Structure 1
Amino acid sequence: MMLRAAIIGYGKMGRIRHEAMDRHGGFEVVVACDTVVDPEAAIPMVTNPLAVYDYDPDVIVCSVPNMMIPDVVCTALARGKHVFSEKPPGRNSADVRLMMEAEAAAHKSDASLVLKFGFNHRVHDAIEEAKKLIDAGTMGDLYFMRGVYGKAGGPNYAQNWRNDPELSGGGILIDQGIHMLDLFQMFAGRFTDVQSFVQRKFWTDVPVEDNAFALMKNAEGIVASVHSSATQWQHTFRLELYLRNGFISVDGILSASGSYGTEVLTLALNRLDATGSPIPNPEQQELRFTEDKSWDKEIAEFHAAVVEGTPLKCGTSQQALDVMELVEAIYAADPEWSNPRQKTSQTATE
């Protein structure tokens, strides 16, 4: 079944989604909306988001800045359209709840409407393989996880809308670290205890964090630590999962920029000595991935959910709420960051 699609927000991500829909073959992109009309665009373009509905789309792809996401998503659902939205899912958990209310209201008239958020890291090949290995059970219980996800600011970093908390909701944690937090919750579920340090060290002319360190524990005692950084001068993605019978790590993540390197999944199974104790430095096996299929997998899942009614596994509104609440918990756990008076004092002394 061919679905008519409208893209609201035709920048980098909107075009990536357009390309993925074209590769899938089950979508006809009939219109795109952006603040400026691209004269070379191969499809009709408009500047008013409401004008896309004149083209009678079946689905809305939302690729706008964080502060605009709730309005675009809620409007689309109220008009009976399926929605695929980028992450982060707004600026805070209140934004997510607003969209969930619109989703629930829409379901009263059409229970088949689909709302999906684009957390594509869940469907990277290396991450999926790690999940399969853990779910198979042969590696035993998951004990703890470590994650580092960082980059080097970038050109015009201070002027980017992502560093205006009124527009974005936060800094590097909500922009990039949210992916690592989403993966943590995919592997371990919700975290109940959170400790953190949230800092602004290098980019002192912006009102958001450039580093966030957090330590989390869930009800089963699984611990996770994350470092989300805009001062990781060497672009880095590393996820480590330690289990009773060995460990799994993912180094590198394939991305549109290509700056995080090849995805390498490393697997090591413990060897035991005569007493049954693990021998240090077990033999490791590597599996390398060189093609990013995550965009295509997300679009395929969205199409199947709309056309066939297949339940979403990734990017549900509940998952979006869970991870946004974890982001907020990390901000709140550092009293020097979450207290506005202390936050202002910190800025003045830096």
Structure 2
Amino acid sequence: MIKIGIAGFGKIGQVRANQIANDTRAKLVAIYDLKKPKHLNEKIKFCSSFESLLELDLDAIFVCAYNNVLADYTVKALNSGLHVFCEKPPARTTTELKEVMLAEKESGKTLKYGFNHRYHYSVMEAKKIIDSGVMGKLLWLRGVYGKAGSIDYNKNWRNYKNYSGGGILIDQGIHMLDLMRYFSKQKFTKINSFVTTSYWDIEAEDNAFAIMQSEEKVTATLHSSATQWSHKFLLEMCFEEGYINLDGILSNTRSYAPEKLIIGRREFEDITFAMGKPKETTTYFENDDSWRLEVEEFLDAIEGVGIIANGTSQDAYDTLRLVENIYENSGF
């Protein structure tokens, strides 16, 4: 039985707890949070500090806390001989993350980061198609990830840089950037960006626009927004032989639903019927098992029957560095 502790028992920490409870190999032993939850299972120990959580007989820690302590907690857990699953972003800066990677190397323990979008069925199916080579060379990517905002959006801790490291880009746009890297296998070295606060009275950004290009001339554009006024997820990818669109993504609220995978084939021959309106196939996905699948991968790696295929520390570093580059190029 893999004995687990959770640091940070907010919304995501509770999601992780539910997945742990559904896996027969693992047991949630204790949690740490700033306040004790009202309806905590009496079999789960509550710790009033992260240090007291580390003192328990545990095998692994899930770090689901504020961004400003993610790196610190991860380093301390690794140095205590524990395996670690940490939520995104991996840290506020790559400087913080380098300390984590050093601790990971010295500890020899399993470290995984929670980029759960990679485990959505539409994403996994798109990845299979792209890797098969049937669509030919990737030409460009275009991504939009937008939030509706809320009446108290400006009061959310994610908009205070000391806690979060940034605004909508590092909070939500990081998922889109991770997928762009995942699908394209490109390192985007040329970046032009605008990072702005357009509407909300916050110190962080509520919109980020970026144009990125790799040495292989693959170009990607990103718009990460907290002023979309509706929830929107769209990633379009154009290849030599057609295009693949990921339109919508499932969540607990289903506010980004439906989740669709759209595949279109380039057709030049039949000008009368095909020009500008090629044949498309659309697949709808009704189940989101992403939270379960990534926890299973983590537990498999701990048991030595699998590896961390997604969400490695190098994945996390490369994506976070791209976030930093967008901030730096914008002058924000």
- TM-score tier (shorter): over 0.9
Change (3 A) 1:309 1:155: farther
SS in 1 for 2:61: strand
Find 1:268's aligned residue among 264, 275, 290.
Answer: 264
Q: Where does residue 192 of structure 2 map in the other structure?
A: 195
Q: Distance in 1 between matches of 2:100 and 2:139?
A: 34
SS in 2 for 1:232: coil
2:93 equivalent to 1:97 = no
Q: Where does residue 347 of structure 1 map in the other structure?
A: none
Q: Where does residue 26 of structure 1 map in the other structure?
A: 25
Q: Where does residue 345 of structure 1 map in the other structure?
A: none
Q: Where does residue 328 of structure 1 map in the other structure?
A: 324
| Aligned amino acid, residue 106 of structure 2 | A
2:244 equivalent to 1:248 = yes
Q: Distance in 1 between matches of 2:37 and 2:244?
A: 45
| Aligned amino acid, residue 330 of structure 2 | D
In the TM superposition, structure 1's runs of 4+ consecutive aligned residues that sit over 6 Å from their partners are none
Give per-residue Cα distances to partners, 1:287-344, cap 9 Å, x unaligned: 1011111001100110111102522111100111101110011011123x2xxxxxxx
Find 1:258's aligned residue among 249, 254, 267.
Answer: 254
2:82 equivalent to 1:81 = yes
Of 265-274 and 90-99, deviating more is 265-274
Find 1:312's aligned residue among 308, 311, 315.
Answer: 308
**1:200 CA drift (Å):** 0.8
**1:257 CA drift (Å):** 2.6
Q: Where does residue 11 of structure 2 map in the other structure?
A: 12
| Aligned amino acid, residue 222 of structure 2 | V
Q: Distance in 2 between matches of 1:103 and 1:259?
A: 37
Consecutive unaligned residues in structure 2, runs of 5 or more? none
Give per-residue Cα distances to partners, 1:139-194, cap 9 Å, x unaligned: 10110000000002224222211111111110000000000000011112321111
| Aligned amino acid, residue 244 of structure 1 | E
Query: What is the aligned residue count?
Result: 327
Q: Where does residue 121 of structure 1 map in the other structure?
A: 117
SS in 2 for 1:234: coil
Over aligned residues, Cα RMSD in angstroms?
A: 1.4
| Aligned amino acid, residue 270 of structure 1 | R
Give per-residue Cα distances to partners, 1:235-264, cap 9 Å, x unaligned: 100011100001010111111232111211
Find 2:223's aligned residue among 227, 232, 245.
Answer: 227
Q: Distance in 1 between matches of 2:303 and 2:12?
A: 23
SS in 1 for 2:147: strand
**1:121 CA drift (Å):** 0.5
Q: Distance in 2 between matches of 1:248 and 1:148?
A: 15
**1:223 CA drift (Å):** 0.6
Give per-residue Cα distances to partners, 1:100-156, cap 9 Å, x unaligned: 11112213xxxxx10000000111110111111111111101100000000022242
Q: Distance in 1 between matches of 2:105 and 2:221?
A: 34
2:132 equivalent to 1:136 = yes
Q: Distance in 2 between matches of 1:274 and 1:298?
A: 44
For 1:293-308, list aligned pairs within 5 A.
293-308=289-304
SS in 2 for 1:97: helix
| Aligned amino acid, residue 319 of structure 2 | V
SS in 1 for 2:276: coil
2:63 equivalent to 1:66 = no
Q: Where does residue 57 of structure 2 map in the other structure?
A: 56
Of 156-165 and 228-237, deviating more is 156-165
| Aligned amino acid, residue 166 of structure 1 | N
Q: Where does residue 348 of structure 1 map in the other structure?
A: none
Q: Distance in 2 between matches of 1:161 and 1:280?
A: 45
Q: Distance in 2 between matches of 1:257 and 1:71?
A: 31
Consecutive unaligned residues in structure 1, runs of 5 or more? 108-112, 338-350
Q: Distance in 2 between matches of 1:258 and 1:90?
A: 28
Find 2:284's aligned residue among 265, 284, 288.
Answer: 288
Q: Distance in 1 between matches of 2:270 and 2:27?
A: 63
Q: Where does residue 36 of structure 1 map in the other structure?
A: 35
